[in-house]
């Protein structure tokens, strides 16, 4: 299992960030197979206290072996200072139980640098959200 939180400060008020999340939620959740994974979104909810939950089960193929992973990302949005917003992405993934899955998890984390790559992917998504939110504020979207 791996579990981490990444965050970014966006120079836009919470409503602008919330609107951006709403507009790109379908884009993110509707994304097709990525990196050899077959994903099924299980839950998605953007609440008034803006949180977007995305949980899915993915089947990856590594070394011709199927590996099932339960994944979840919780995006939280909070006011930061007078007119900024902090967005956090809490990400976790859990491999199935068993020796085979444990070996694949170790290979993913240690040999392939999967956790570091996943963190960078999350930071990239946060930077995208920042660009889109700040663009919405300026009306240049």
Residue 51 pLDDT level (bands cut at 50, 70, 90): low
Nearest to 114 by CA among 43, 37, 44: 37
| Mean pLDDT in residue range 2-12 | 94
Task: Measure the CA dihedral 125/123/8/94, to 10°.
Answer: 90
pTM to 2 decimals? 0.73
Other C-beta atoms closer than 10 Å to the C-beta of 106 total: 12
pLDDT, one tens digit per residue, over 66-124 is: 777 888 888 889 999 999 999 999 998 888 888 887 888 888 888 878 888 889 988 99
Q: How confident is the model at residue 10 (pLDDT cuts 50, 70, 90)?
A: very high
- Domains annotated for the chain, with CATH where assigned, are 2-138 (3.30.530.20)
């Amino acid at each position: 299992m791996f579990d981490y939180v990444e965050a970014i400060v966006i120079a836009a008020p919470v409503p602008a960030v919330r609107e951006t999340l709403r507009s790109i939620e379908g884009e993110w959740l509707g994304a097709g197979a990525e990196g050899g994974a077959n994903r099924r979104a299980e839950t998605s909810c953007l609440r008034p206290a803006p949180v977007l939950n995305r949980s899915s089960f993915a089947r990856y193929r590594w070394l011709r072996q199927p590996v099932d992973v339960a994944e979840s990302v919780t995006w939280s949005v909070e006011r930061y200072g007078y007119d900024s917003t902090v967005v956090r992405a809490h990400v976790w993934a859990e491999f199935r139980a068993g020796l085979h899955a444990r070996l694949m998890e170790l290979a993913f984390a240690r040999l392939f640098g999967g956790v570091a790559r996943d963190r960078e992917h999350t930071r990239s998504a946060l930077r995208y959200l920042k660009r889109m939110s700040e663009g919405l504020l300026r009306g240049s979207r």
